[in-house]
Amino acid sequence: MSSVIESLRSQVAQHLNRTDVAATAILVVLLSSYLFHRSSWSGIKTTKIDGPKGSNPIIGLSLALVKSENPAATIETWAKEFGPVFSLPMGFGRTGLILADVKAAAHFLARDTGVYHQTRLTKIFIENLFGRGILWAEDEDHRRQRKALTPAFSISATRNYLSTFYDSAYKIKSNWETLLDNGNRTIEVQAWILKFLQIFEAFERPESSGFVSQALFILAPIYPVLQRLPARHNRMMKGIKASMAALADKIIHPDGRKGAELADGGHGHVEKSIVGLLVKAETASDGLKMSEEEVLAEAMRPLQAALREELSKFQARDPTWDELMALPYLNAITQETLRLHPPLPGVARMASRDDAIPLGNPIRTPGGEVISEIVVAKGTPVTCPVAYINQSEDLWGPDAKEFKPVRWIEDESGKDGIGAGAKEIKGYHHLLTFSEGPRFCIGRNIAVGNFKATLSVLIRNFSFELPNGVDSKIARHKGLLARPKLEGENGPKVPLVVKRLE
């Protein structure tokens, strides 16, 4: 006990600043509360299974996973040692479950918002950013909101957005042509994409990685009220929400009126506008934004040439919705991009009541018992590692980590290159990128349509090369949202040599 307090005191002395004095004092009080009441948590009866052990019982391994440069690779390391279903110390005596077993993941996602709820920390985070909309709601409230919104995001409704997708793509094309004149030029592609999604600049503000911010991350799942303290981390969240609200009004109400002015009785249903912005901007583009730039950056000349050949019949006009969706190579590139670059590495929830999760393959407990299901007690953290499942060699084959669009194209016999294990995944095209179950991404039709339309315009008009050829390396810039960067660049920058096609 004394060593823990001394360690805490030492870190505070090194990293404390005046703006976080109040937050730190409260953290110390809550830490003492945890040490005193920890014994009350020992009654949780989730099935004990193997998993990695954390060296620090207070921190556990959850922070290490979040800070990992490649969470999927970290999960893979553990899965190779303990199997596709394992336990993970979450800190402060809590033990979570990681579900990379396809059957277990399907059961978990099918009960998302019914049995499995977002953690209290996540709900406060979502409320701070987006308000109490569909992303925040659970159970009947979520079903009611989703039922009301679903018609606006059906395929028939999304067809009407295609002209908007093309308009945005042609604005980029026009600006690039002005820059290029008659030659080629190195263009920071990502910055141009972001010009049409200003909101994401807010997510690039540097997040404090000091002691107080890390302590907030560890303690907030137990004491969610910490997310409301005036620490730098929380002030940043409020700033992002303010930026989103302002941009939401600009996008959804271009006539200059604010959402509150248009709400019934002026009582300010601005949160509805923020949900609309989320689907129009973040859901529709963020998960694909990394893909869009990185596909262009990584696409070798043969890949670009093949896609350009497929689109060559559309010189005098753009493809219709049906034509766009029926292009096999464009679809293959889209699917492969979604597979390798999901917007979030996993789906994390908390069991709101007891459950039993079936397993596709039995496992052996530390006591030697072979089990085909795991009992999950109320309050247990459970995570489905989407990024790992999407590129698991056990499911997709030995080339799972390669960008290989041809795997999605059927040969003359009707056979494709998708692994047999992957075909057991019930998600969108055997992917969990858009999640699955009651909370699957409501904007996925918009996301796919926007990506395909934008890529079809740019690839017909420009060629793209990496500035250093095959020596160029694409890395990840880690912020609130994972973004691509060219190795050696400061921040999420992807400069490409862009040349206009004659």
pLDDT digits (tens, 9 = 90+) for 192-209: 766 654 443 444 444 444
pLDDT band with cut points at 50, 70 and 90 for residue 435 = very high
Q: Please compute the mean of the pLDDT values over residues 43-49 and round it to a whole number.
A: 83
Please state at what angle helix 211-219 crosses helix 2-15, rounded to 10 degrees: 130
What per-residue confidence (pLDDT) applies to 472?
A: 75
Handedness of CA 131, 134, 139, 143 (dihedral sign): positive
Residue 473 has pLDDT above 60, yes or no: yes
What per-residue confidence (pLDDT) applies to 280?
A: 36
What per-residue confidence (pLDDT) applies to 193?
A: 67
Q: Please compute the mean of the pLDDT values over residues 210-223 and round it to a whole number.
A: 48
Among 24-38, 41-55, 347-361, the range scoring the smallest mean pLDDT is 24-38
441 is in an annotated binding site: yes
Complete edge-to-edge strand list for the sheet that includes strand 94-99: 85-91, 94-99, 381-384, 347-351, 116-117
Q: Which of 368, 347, 415 is nearest to 98 (CA)?
A: 347
Residue 381 has pLDDT above 90, yes or no: yes
Where are the domains positioned within the chain? 2-500
Cα 195 to Cα 178: distance, rounded to the nearest angstrom: 16
Q: Please compute the mean of the pLDDT values over residues 330-339 and round it to a whole number.
A: 95
Cα 480 to Cα 207: distance, rounded to the nearest angstrom: 8
**Using an 8 Å Cβ cutoff, are 460 and 172 in contact?**
no
pLDDT band with cut points at 50, 70 and 90 for residue 445 = very high
Cα 321 to Cα 326: distance, rounded to the nearest angstrom: 9
Residue 471 has pLDDT above 50, yes or no: yes
Cα 205 to Cα 236: distance, rounded to the nearest angstrom: 8
- At residue 388, what are phi and psi to the nearest 5 degrees? -70, -45
What per-residue confidence (pLDDT) applies to 260?
A: 39
- Retrieve residue 282's tokens: 């973040």
pLDDT band with cut points at 50, 70 and 90 for residue 134 = confident
Residue 52 has pLDDT above 60, yes or no: yes
What per-residue confidence (pLDDT) applies to 365?
A: 94
Cα 334 to Cα 449: distance, rounded to the nearest angstrom: 10
**Using an 8 Å Cβ cutoff, are 186 and 496 in contact?**
yes
Cα 328 to Cα 325: distance, rounded to the nearest angstrom: 8
> Kind and range of the H or E element at 34?
helix 21-37
Cα 101 to Cα 86: distance, rounded to the nearest angstrom: 10
Say which residue, 499 or 502, is predicted with more confidence: 499
Q: Which of 353, 342, 406, 400 is nearest to 375 (CA)?
A: 353
pLDDT, the chain, mean:
76
**Using an 8 Å Cβ cutoff, are 259 and 248 in contact?**
yes
| CATH for 2-500 (3.40.50.1820, 1.10.630.10, 3.20.20.370, 1.20.190.20) | 1.10.630.10
What per-residue confidence (pLDDT) applies to 312?
A: 93
Question: Which residue type is seen at 440?
Answer: F
What per-residue confidence (pLDDT) applies to 427?
A: 85
Cα 79 to Cα 369: distance, rounded to the nearest angstrom: 19
How do strand 381-384 and strand 94-99 relate by DSSP bridges? parallel
Q: Which of 87, 60, 74, 114 is nearest to 374 (CA)?
A: 87
* Most trustworthy range by pLDDT among 26-35, 141-150, 259-268: 141-150
What per-residue confidence (pLDDT) applies to 377?
A: 95
Cα 35 to Cα 28: distance, rounded to the nearest angstrom: 11
Cα 6 to Cα 21: distance, rounded to the nearest angstrom: 18
